Structure formats: C-alpha cells, structure tokens
Structure 1
Amino acid sequence: MLDINRTIAQELSVSPAQIESVIKLIDEGSTIPFIARYRKEATGGLDDTQLRTLEERLTYLRNLEARKAEILNSIEEQGKLTDELRASIEGATVMQRVEDLYKPFKKKRATRASKAREAGLEPLADLILTQARTGKSALETAAAFVDAEGGFATAEAALQGAKDIVAEVIADDAEHTAALRAFTKKTATMAVEATDGEEKSVYEPYYDFSESAQRIPNHRVLAINRGEKEGKLRVRVRTDQDAAIDQLGRRIVRHNGVFAEALDEAIADSYKRLIAPSLERELRSELTERAQADAIRVFAKNTESLLQQRPVKGARIIALDPGYRTGCKVAVLDEFGKLLDYTTVYPTPPRRDIEGTKRTLDSLVKRHRINTIVIGNGTASRETEEVVSGFIAQSSAELRYTIVNEAGASVYSASKLASEEYPDLDVTTRGAMSLGRRLQDPLAELVKIPPQSIGVGQYQHDLNQAELGRALGDVVERVVNRVGVDLNTASASLLGYVSGISPAVAKNIVVYREENGAFTDRKQLKNVPKLGPKAFLNCAGFLRISDGANPLDATSVHPESYAIATELLKRAGVKPSALSAGGVPDIAKRIGNVATLADELGCGVPTLRDIVAELEKPGRDPRDDAPEVVFSKSVTSLDDLNVGMELTGTVRNVVDFGAFVDIGVKQDGLVHISKLSDRFVKHPSEVVSVGDTVTVWIEKIDKERGKISLSMVKEK
C-alpha cells in the first residue's frame, strides 16, 4: 500500500514530518484557516493554498486505499488473486489504474463473450490467444467445440464465439488499455460539425471544426460541450484506427500460426467495438474535467478578488436599481448600511420623468446628507446614469456616483434569507439595498449570495456544481477569515464562513446576541448553544469585538496566546489600552530580538512574529491594500466612444481569453489576452484581477453587436 504521508510530501516538496503534523491536526478537527494562521510551527509555515491541496490529496489517497482494499477482497473471494496482481493493485497511484486492473474481475452483464463462455468456448479462445500450434486449421480445431444447444451449431459459429471471448480478454487487459489510452490522448482530434448547417448561432465557429485533443484550449472544450448539449453541434473523437489496431497487434501477435487470421480479426474487433468507444468517452470526460477544473480555478480567483475589494467607508448612499416599465427602485442607506428611506423614480422609458427623478434625488440628498449614488449595471443602467450624471452636474452638492455589478442581487432579494432579514420590504427594495451595501462592504454583502450567482467566471452553469460550490466556499471562507469578522454586527451568513462555525451555530450566535446584548468578551462564545471547545478554538481568533473588556479581543491574536501578547506589551512598556488607540507601531524595536524572546516565552518564532505584527496595527483590514473604487465616469454610451480613446475602467471579469472591463457604458469591453501586455501572457490572471483599476485604449467598436474591443497596450 502507499505511504500517504511520504507521497504527499514528495508532491508538495515538503518534509513527511510537516505532512504528519497537518494530517494529525485535520483528523483532530482543526480547520484549514485555523491551521494556516495559528499552527505555523507544526506545519512549517505551509500557507492556505498548500494546506487545501494537501487536504484534497489526503482525501483522494485515502479513498484510493479504501478502494484498493475493496477490490482486493472481491478478487480474493473469487479465488483469482495472485501475488503479482496484488502487488500491481497495491502499487497503483491513481484510481484509473486500479479500476483497469479490476476490470477483468468485475461482474458483467450478459455479453457476446459471456454467452460463448457458457457454451464452453473458453478453451478455444485460449488456443487463439496463446497462438497454439494444433496441427489443424482454425476451423478444424473449432469443430470440436460445436455446441448446438448453446447457439454455436457450426465450426464457424464456434470460432466466432471464441473470437468474441478473445476480444473481451484483450479489452480487459490493463496494460493494453494503458498503451492505447496514451496513443489516443496523443493522436486524437476533436471533430465538430453543425447539426443544422444553415442555422445562424453563436456556435458558427465550430460548424466545421477540428483540433488536436492535446492542444484544444479549455474554454473551447466548454463552448463545444454547451453547443452539443443545446443540440447545435455534433462532436466526434477521431483517431487513426488502423494505427491503433496495428499497435495493439504488435503487443499481442508473436507468430503467423493457424489462428493468425482469427486473432487479427479479434484484435480489430476488440479495438473498434470495445476499446475505442470506451477510450473516446474517457477522453471527452477527461477534457471536460480538465476544462471544468480550470474554469473553477479562474472563477475562484475572480471571486476572491471580488470579495477583497476595498470597502468604501463613510458613504451615505442612494442606491438605484434601474428598470424600464416598473421604474428605478431607490434605497437610501446611512454609512453603516441601515435603510433610511426607499421609493421609486421613473427616469427611463416609457415615462421618462427626468425632472421628477431629479427633484426626488435632490430631496433625498438634502434630507439624508447623501454623498454617494450607486447605480446597478443591468437593464436601463445607461439611461439612469445619464440622468444621475446630469443631476450631479446641476447640483451644488458634493456628490459622486459609480456603477456596481448587480449580478446575484435578484437571487438574494428573492431568497429566504432576504425575507427573514427584511420581511416588510418587497424584493425590489431589498435588491436596491444590496447594491448600495456592495459598495460599503462587498464581502459582508456578497456572502449572502450563492457564489455561483456572482457572475465572475465563464460557463459557471455548465460546471460540476458540487465542485464549483466547494471551491467557491473555500474561497469565501479564506477571505472571511483573512479579513476577520465583527462578532457584534456580522450577519449569520457571514458568521457561517468563519473557521469552525456551521450555519446552525452562526444562527445561534445571532440569537444569543439578540437575547443577551452585544458580546463584550470572546469567552462568551462558549455560552452559545452547540459551540463547543473545538469550535471555539477554531473560530475565536477570527472574531473581533470592538470596545470590549479586553483590547486583545479586537485583534487577530488568539485567546490561547493572550498571555504572550500581554507580556509583549509589558516589555514594550505600554498598556493594553494602547491597542484601542491604534496599536504600538514601534513594538518590534521595543522588545528586541524575536528569536531570543520566543525562547523565553516558550512559543514559536512564527507565532510571535504574527502577534507582534498584530500589535503594531491591531485589526488591520487587508482590503485596504486593494484599488480604490472609481467614481464619476464621464462616458455613458457607445456614441461617446471613439477608436483610440484612452479610458480608466474597472476589471469586472477575467476569463481564459481575456478580461472584461467596465468603462462606463452598458457593455463591458473585452481586452483580449494578446492585448493585456506587450509581453507573452499565458493566462490573463497573470496581469489583472477582478476589481483592478486599469487604463485602456479603444481598438474597435461594433455598435450593431454592442461589442467593444480594448487594449491595455498603448500604440507607439
């Protein structure tokens, strides 16, 4: 059997001791965020990404070993387990190899070969496979195996039955399968054609298309799959059958005996009828899995960038959810996201009550001291923006406005969660509130929406939803725990992503807070129903209490390290209250050599360094390093654009072939991967992330199709 610890250690290029420590922590119930942040000595400093990879491989390899045990027991029960077979199964490193080895021993449905075996034709098949020299012709030899009752009444029928057995034996051979799998992967092409060549559709580029399976890009695989699913495309995997059969023959045929012709026919039949269809399905599946894994990775990276966008502090907001017939829903929020007012205005067709809209906005601005207007980027966004831009130009108020991506707002506003939070509001008002809060605190608001609905990926609805959900859940958890959560203001949705806290416990925290008032000490978490000692250990360091009894509760210092932090403050000559006043910026200089001090205090150097960094800037929000939000765009329609124009925009989505940038019009412009940089770019994520502010130049405007081509490389 595999040494799992050593295998993972080799894959991650770390020591087996590190792997052993992490596995022990995982098995004890520690979460990945907790291990990454508070167990650096045990892990040797492995980061969150490495730890999640380790956890995935651990699960896979444990499942692999469990499957091996099942298969070995099954074959042993059949009395067919040899030492050589056992060694091959135990030495397998991937599930596919294990299943290949098990294939001959699986119970099969009735096949042509099984019927031939029941008729006693297996000895004849063995003669063909071993290429025996019988002194008779193949038909003369087969005559001895005629079985009229079994359905093989002639020598020809008996010989055919034996060939069916040979074909199945060849197809079940793990080594033959492995060789032909490699051949298929290396030489196969994806051939695509239209199901209706005359019909116009977005899949026209694939109506007569062929590309090597080895080289076809992932986004193209997903596009072809979608076209096939929608009945627009017909897809085939093409291989050189003659070359494959010749390769298989060279593996099997040893001499030109009396059974040579029968063996050649069985080899060809085995490949065409049994092996090729299976390998072609397998290749399609593998290409899809590869493409989906890449799309999920891109989606996860985009989601992480989106969630880490900088909050806009101090924004008192009018949020507009644009629409035509039903008008624009308006939600007015104070700087903490509290709803102050709501109404509806009609600046767009069919009413086009522009003056009435401006009067309403003016009244709301003055009454609620508004400094920011937020507009959703969906239907009627451009027309609404024109009115808002004109209003600000005419107003003497110090106003700014921006566009926010409204993807998923409707999902949230109609959700059970939204109805529980705001039972007295209709869905449209909830949606407008969500848009405003996305600007104030993107993370806190976006965690209320299923990550798949945020809209920062490609082909998300075609992906494995379980895998996508798991990957995006990991991303949200990582960001939430990196930022930290205010225990007294966080929603149950946000608390549910904190290390060690389940959705049920998150709700219990909110209920406890409502019944007992604000938390004043992290220790009070132990009183929350179903939040046990292990959950407390995992979550305590990621939950913050502002103005609590202990200033350390407002930091990322874990309660288990409070004694160390207190001693550091004492040696620095400052009181804990200094943390509430902005921290101790020069504490590193005051305490001296960290390594020496770590020995004195009985803790690890990584942990001590983390504590020192936190005492320097308590509760620092890592999102403060993100680009600032771009306000007051002057471009509002395609008519305002000209080729060569320089603009500032915000990256809204990153996909395999480029990046979509919001430049202030309804349509996001596309910067193709070839236009992202003057150097070679393997993937757009090397250059840009969602939320980045970028300078672009317009290369092409297609008004008929509503498409804008951009470049981030200025022409010389």
Structure 2
Amino acid sequence: MDQQQMFALIASELGINSRQVKASVKLMEEGNTIPFIARYRKEKTGELDEEKLRSIEERYHYLTQLSSRKEEVLRLIDEQGKLTDELRKRIEQSTKLQEVEDLYLPYRPKRKTRALMARARGLEPLARLMTETADVSAIEEAARQYVDGEKGVESTEKALQGAMDILAEELAEDAEIRKWVRQFTWKNGLLISRAKDPKIRSVYEMYYDYSEPVHKMPSHRVLAVNRGEREEILKIRISVDEEKIYRRLREWFSLPLHSFLEAVVQDSYKRLLSPSIEREIRSQMTESAEKQAIRIFSENLRHLLLQPPVRGKMVLGVDPAYRTGCKWAVVDDTGKMLEIGVIYPTKPQEKVEEAKAEILRLLDKYLIEIIAIGNGTASRETEAFIAEVIQEAPRPVYYIIVNEAGASVYSASKLAREEFPDLDAARRSAISIARRLQDPLAELVKIDPKSVGVGQYQHDVSQKELGNSLAKVVESVVNYVGVDVNTASPSLLQYVSGISMTVAKNIVKRREEIGRFTNRSQLKEVPRLGAKTYEQCIGFLRIHDGSNHLDQTPIHPESYGVVESLLKLLEVEPGQIGSDKLKELLKQVDTEKTAQELGCGVPTLRDIIGSLLRPGRDPRDELPKPLFRSDVLKLEDLHAGMHLRGTVRNVVDFGAFVDIGLKHDGLVHISHMSKKFVRNPMDIVTVGDIVDVWVTSVDVERERVGLSMIPVTTQELMETK
C-alpha cells in the first residue's frame, strides 16, 4: 500500500477527503504539534479538530507499520522459495496486521512440532494420500511402507499419526480457516467464569458462576475477570458450539471424510486451533477493554483538568489525619503559602478547643472565605469539626471536600522538595490541596496523571498506553486553556506545544533574571527556545498587562499584521481592544468578504474575531463553579427518597460516583441516570458536573449509598421493593 492509498483509506474511515489527510500528515512530519495544527493551520487541514488529527496520526502510524510488515513477510517467504503470485497478492491486499500474520503462519520458523517431526521422518507423501483417496485400506497399506525404526516410525499406527499431525497443522494454519473460526467464536462464544474454590469469600463472587456472550461483555467486566484470573480466584474459558466449527473444518477437504480425516479435524481444532483462537479472542477482548478504560480515564481527566479555578480567594487547605494531626496551610490568591501548621481535633489527641481557636484565628487574620479539606483518612471527622467551627465565624465561611488523589505522590516528589525544601511531605500536601481548589490545572499537572483517581481498572491496562493517552489529554487541555507565562511553573509550561522540560525551566529561569515578561518577543531570548519551538508555543502563552494587547490573546504573532489591518479597517486603535465599541464593530464583520480583503483564511479571521471579542478569556470560567458547603452530612442522616445536590467525581462504564458530602461517594448506576436508555454514562454526565440526585439505598455497614438522577419518592421506592 503506497502513501496515496493510505491517505485514501484513512479519509474513507474518518469521513473526510484525502487532501485533508495528506496535508495533516505533511504538517506532522514537519515537526508541528497537533494542538498547533488544530489551532493555527485550519486552512491547510480543512479545520480538522484535535480528535480527527490524532486519529489520522494513529491510523497513519498503523498503516506504515502494516506496510513495513508486509515487505518483511514477503521477503522472508521469498527467501524460502515459497512465494507464489497468489500469496503475494493476498499479502499485499491485506488491511490488517492479523491477516498478514495469518498468511505468514505456515512459513514462520517453528519450534519442534509434531508436524515438523513427521515431515522430517518423510511422512508428507502419506499425508497427501490421505487427502486424495477415501479408501482407508489403501491408506493403511501405504502406511506400512513408512515403518522405519531408524527414522522413529516404529509402527503403522505411528506412520498414520504422523501423517495426520501434518494435516492437522496445515488445517490449523490455513488463513481463511483461522479467520472464520476467529469470527465465529467472537460472534457466538460465551465467556465462562467459575470459582477455583467457591468457599473463598472475595470481591469476585458475582463471577463464581457466570457467563456472558464474548462480543457483548463490557470492558469493566472483562478487566474484572482478568484480574480475578491473575489472582487465581477465577477460572476462565470460552465456550462455543464446536459441532458448527467441525462442519466448517470438514469443508476444507475436497473429498468425503474418512476416519483418518475426521480424526484430523477433531485434533486440529482441540489441540491447535481452539487454544490459539481462545488466546487471540481473550487478547482482543482485553485490548478492547483496555482501550475503553483508557478512553474513560482520558475523558474524566480532561474534565477534571478543566474544572473552573476559584480566583481571588484566600484558601485554608487542610490535610486530615488521626495520630499525626491535621496539617493546614494558608494560601493567598496567587497560590503563595503564607502560614502553615498542625491541629489535633481528631483521635487520639482530640485537642478540639485548641484546634478551634487556631482555625478561628486564621479565619480572622487572613479573612479566609473557603476551607479546602482533603478527602483522605479522617476526612469525615475533620469535616464535622470544620463545619462546627465555621458556625462561630463572624462572617460566612464555606468548605469543600477536595479529591486529594495523588497529593501524597506530589508531596514526596522531587518537584515538591524543590518547591518547599524546608517542609515535610504532609505540610506540602496541605498546600497542594488548597491550590487544587484555586487552579486545578496548574496543580494537577505536577503529578503523574495516572495518580488522579478518575478511572476504572487503570492498574490493569497497559501502563505505557495509558501514560501516552493521558499525556496527550494534559497537553490538549493546557493548550486549550492557555498559560500565563509570568506565573506558570515548569510543570505546566512543559505541556505547552513544542516546549520540553528543559525549555520550561529555562523560561522560568529567564523570568527570574529579568522579572516579568512584557511581550512575547522576549521569549526568543530564552536558551534552547529556537525558531521552531517559538512558532509552536507562542500562541498558547499569554502575557497579561504587557506592552502589546494581543499578547494576552490566543492570536498567533504571525497574524498580528492581519489584526492591525483589521483594526485599521474598523477605524479603532490597538488600545481599544476589549472595548464595547470594538466588540460591536466585530459582530458586524462579514468574515468571508473581510478575509478576502485582508488576504487571510476565513477560519483564521473567525478565530481572530473570537479572540478580540473576549481578550484574556479563560474557557474554564464558563463552567459551573464548585459546590461549597457550610454544614456536614452524615450517613445516618440519609433516607430513601432524600433529594441532594452533589459533584460528579468519577464516571465509569456502569455509572457515576457523586460526592454528596460524605466520606465515600454515592453511586448512580447507569440504569438510574435517565428514564431513557443510556448507552454510555458520559452521554449524561462528566467529571465536575453539579447534579441533583435522590437517595435509593443506604448501607451503613458497608458505607455505600445508592443514588438516582431520576426523581424518586420514598413511596415509589417502597413500591419498587
């Protein structure tokens, strides 16, 4: 498959034209990043978004690998002198790696198999005779001629068995047969799960006597049984109607089957095909499940990173604990740590009055309006304590439970030690909890995305694939939001298009040397930030209150000339950017006509106008604000039918976990999300959404709460039961 064919195939799959694919691949090969291409090369790609561009990148990489593998397989078969024109054509026309590997299988060098040993003993002519005559007696008579103790054929039975071994392997390695059996097993197979020891109690009990169609099994159940099998709790196998498979295998032979060929069919499937195809199907199920789990994690991470920042607020961050006390940190509206300490309101010390006095002192001294409490150990007790204290505050104070997943990872990291070398890990964690509320994106980029706790079975998937996918999500979000170059940490800057960690550190070092950057051009002086890097990153870096009003917008410097011409056309000065007058004029612009006048593309002009209408815009500000609380909710307070408001913390295949103010999140099962059929929970909710829920069940002993997004009353729940 040549490059043009690849472009045409990708275009057909994605529903776009091949010119768009060709242009996108060319831009990628020139070293342009996907965020840059999506934002600043719309004319060339036909306005393809990041999702389409990443699909092109992934598919082109796969097809390139496929093409290389085809060349390698053709070479290897040709070296054996077995490459026919028909085989070459079949390999060249293959569109999947699996098809190529199936065609190569008969020619692949093998370890010592029964068929190889039989061929070495000269039994291949006897195997051919078995397929050419239905006369069993003639076959048995011919077999006697192959008895040779020196060659390891001690009897007629061994000669016949060797011939059958050859045919069984040939049948199992036929590409069309393998393809048919694989598809049949996928469509009709049942995954059967049984307990190795039914007496053992475990989290896998629902799978102790379980079966489900292979092609219908959702990803979370596939990963669950895989884990149960790894932990040696479950035994897994795939069951399928073998008689239908035998009927198909019999058709491979051109004559009516005699007893020897019937034995070949049975042996080929049981010994060779069935175990091999089952491994392939299980692998296919796992790969599909992992992709879905990674997709869910990625979507959740995206929405988590896009949570709106809480600006202009002094925040008190509290990291709950028992024996070692609750560490607290006061952080100002820029994220700077002002004071830090520890209180002991929980067991075993229970110095409640001292702790209360300290919190009230901090609320008064720093005029704190919001307290961020981590959701880890002792969170519930700490929340109850804080809720009681703020009732005595002279003015309104609210608190919020912050998901501290990964905070301990950050606190013990080299980055945290460099940032706060004089503090222990627990105190760094309190600062991180406060900052997570102020700017989730800026703080969460400091930790490994896999540690943020918004996935399902993330430890059961390929860590390399997961890491790559999550890194792309972080990169996408950071560039979508934009970065203030005068406040950003190296951890945040490294995700900006084209910037490496080395360049990110150099930017911060240069900032410390010269003070604030006042215009984008100054970044050209940063070591290792060359012309290509500057081109890729500069549109995503913001400078507020600088010497050029355009530097606070997503407009790329390469388009500044177009902006100047547009402003002249509208008869306004650059200093009027952001003014009501300019906004009114921009709303009246005919983009098609004006783009032609200015000599630029319509998409570019459209983006320029959007940026000038809202200079300095942070897209996160348009999302719902976090849900703050002033009183504690206890599990014992809940009852069926109770109406609550909560924040979606995690979305998985089977539903969503919602923070309703308890230590543990409640679960809204997918069946309780809407009165209509819901195929995917993400069609209904995303991480960070504020939702109304109704309590359906309360399990005090297991600390579990069932929720519904469909309004229900106590009476309705009683009638359902």
Normalised TM-score (structure 2): 0.96
Q: 2:90 aligns with which of 88, 98, 121?
A: 88
Cα-to-partner distance string for 1:157-191 (whole Å, 9 max, x where unaligned) = 11111111111111111011111111111221111
Structure 1 residue 135: Cα displacement: 9.5
Mapping for residues 615-634 of structure 1, pairs under 5 Å: 615-634=612-631
| 2-structure distance, mates of 1:346, 1:432 | 15
Matching of residues 669-708 of structure 1 within 5 Å:
669-708=666-705
Output one character per residue of 1:33-68: Cα deviation in whole Å (capped at 9) or x when no partner: 011101111111111111111111011111111111
Q: Which residue of 1 aligns with 2:264?
A: 266
Q: State the match for 2:31 in structure 1.
A: 29
Q: Which residue of 1 aligns with 2:479?
A: 481
CA contact (8 A) 1:651 1:662 kept: yes
CA displacement at 1:264 relative to structure 2: 1.5
3-state DSSP of counterpart to 1:648: strand
Counterpart CA distance in 1 for 2:616 and 2:580 is 9
Contact 1:323–1:348 (CA<8 Å) still a contact in 2?
yes
Q: Is 1:608 aligned to residue 610 of structure 2?
A: no
State the AA in 1 paired with 2:298.
A
Instruction: Report deviation, 1:660.
Output: 0.6
Q: Aligned equivalents of 1:589 and 1:443: distance in 2?
A: 32
1:140 paired to 2:137? no
Give how far 1:207 is off. 0.8
CA distance in 2, matches of 1:106, 1:491: 53
Contact 2:306 2:441 (C-alpha < 8 Å) held by counterparts: yes
Task: Give how far 1:303 is off.
Answer: 0.7
Q: For the residues of structure 2 that align with 1:583 and 1:122, how far apart are their CA atoms?
A: 90
Q: Residue 400 of structure 1: CA displacement?
A: 1.5
Following the alignment from structure 1 to structure 2, what is the Cα–Cα distance between the partners of residues 662 and 584? 43
CA contact under 8 A between 2:698 and 2:704: conserved in structure 1?
A: yes
Quick check: 1:134–1:141 contact (8 Å CA) kept in 2?
A: no
Q: 1:254 — aligned with what?
A: 255
Q: Which moved more, 1:8-17 or 1:506-515?
A: 506-515
Match of 2:718 in 1: none
Q: How far apart are 1:527 and its partner, in Å?
A: 2.4
Instruction: Report what 1:221 is aligned to.
Output: 222
**Helix, strand or coil: the match of 1:332?**
strand
Give me the whole-angstrom Cα distance separating, in 1, the residues matched to 2:406 and 2:81.
Answer: 58
Distance change (3 Å), C-alpha of 1:150 and 1:511: farther
Deviation at 1:133, TM superposition (A): 6.5
Looking at structure 2, the residues matched to 134 and 396 of structure 1 have their Cα atoms a distance apart, in angstroms, of 103
> How far does the alpha carbon of each residue in 1:491-511 deviate from its partner, in whole angstroms, 9 at most, with x for none?
111111111112222222222
SS of structure 2 residue aligned to 1:252: coil
Matched-pair contact (CA < 8 Å) for 1:583–1:615: no
Question: How many correspondences in the alignment?
Answer: 711
1:437-476 to structure 2, matched below 5 A, reads 437-476=435-474
Shift of 1:239: 2.1
Residue 314 (structure 1) aligned to one of 312, 315, 319: 312
Q: 1:493 to 1:135 in 2, by over 3 A?
A: closer
Q: How far does residue 582 in structure 1 lie from its aligned partner after superposition?
A: 8.4
1:397-416 equivalence runs, <5 A? 397-416=395-414
Long gaps (5+) in structure 2? 714-721
The residue aligned with 1:640 is 637
Q: Is contact 1:32–1:48 with CA below 8 Å preserved after alignment?
A: yes
After TM superposition, the structure 1 = structure 2 runs for residues 487-502 of structure 1, keeping only pairs within 5 Å, are 487-502=485-500
CA distance in 1, matches of 2:350, 2:277: 61
Match of 2:69 among 67, 70, 89: 67
Equivalent residue letter for 1:126: R
Q: How far apart in 2 are the matches of 1:320 and 1:60?
A: 48
Give the match's secondary structure for 1:586: helix
Q: What CA distance in whole angstroms lies between the structure 1 residues aligned with 2:680 and 2:292? A: 11
Q: Distance in 1 between matches of 2:497 and 2:136?
A: 76
- Of the candidates 335, 338, 358, which is equivalent to residue 337 of structure 1? 335
Partner amino acid, structure 2, of 1:502? S
Q: Which residue of 2 aligns with 1:713?
A: 710
Aligned to 1:206: 207
C-alpha deviation, 1:571, in angstroms: 2.0
Distance 1:80 1:32, change over 3 A: same
CA gap of 1:282–1:373, structure 2 versus 1, over 3 A, is same
SS in 1 for 2:216: coil
Shift, 1:519, TM fit: 2.0
**TM-superposition CA deviations, 1:580-606 (whole Å, max 9, x none):** 76893224246x321111112111000
> Which one of the candidate residues 45, 58, 61 is aligned to 2:60?
58
Residue 318 of structure 1 contacts residue 330 of structure 1 at CA under 8 Å; is this kept in 2? yes
Quickly say closer, same or farther: Cα 1:567–1:450, change in 2 above 3 A: same
Counterpart contact for 2:578–2:612, Cα < 8 Å: no
Contact 1:587–1:615 (CA under 8 A) maintained in structure 2: no
For the 8 Å contact 1:306–1:690, the answer to whether it is kept is: yes
The Cα shift of 1:633 comes to 4.8
- C-alpha offsets along residues 357-399 of structure 1, whole Å, 9 cap, x if unaligned? 1110111122222121111111111111111111111111331
Match of 2:719 in 1: none
CA drift at 1:532? 2.1
TM, length-normalised to structure 1? 0.97
Is structure 2 residue 126 aligned with structure 1 residue 124?
Answer: yes
Identity %: 53
Native 8 Å contact 1:635 1:641 kept in 2? no
2:191 equivalent in structure 1: 190
Amino acid in structure 2 at the alignment position of 1:631: F
Q: Return 515-524 or 262-271, whichever deviates more.
A: 515-524
The answer (yes or no) to whether the contact 1:582–1:617 under 8 Å persists in 2 is no
Q: Distance in 1 between matches of 2:476 and 2:153?
A: 66
Q: What's the counterpart of residue 527 of structure 1?
A: 525
Look up the match of 2:238. 237
Q: Structure 2 CA distance, aligned partners of 1:250 and 1:101? A: 19
Shift, 1:136, TM fit: 5.6
State the alpha-carbon separation in 2 of the partners of residues 522 and 79 from structure 1.
Answer: 63
1:105 aligns with 2:102: no
**Structure 2 Cα separation of the partners of residues 582 and 523 of structure 1:** 28
- Per the TM alignment, residue 242 of structure 1 is displaced from its structure 2 partner at its CA by 3.0
What letter matches 1:224 in structure 2?
V
8 Å contact kept, 2:482–2:541 = yes
Query: RMSD value over aligned CA atoms?
Result: 1.5
Q: CA deviation at 1:243?
A: 2.8
Q: Distance in 2 between matches of 1:695 and 1:584?
A: 41
- 1:481-560 equivalences in 2 (<5 Å): 481-560=479-558
* Bigger shift: residues 562-571 or 95-104: 562-571
- Which residues of structure 1 form unaligned runs of 5+? none
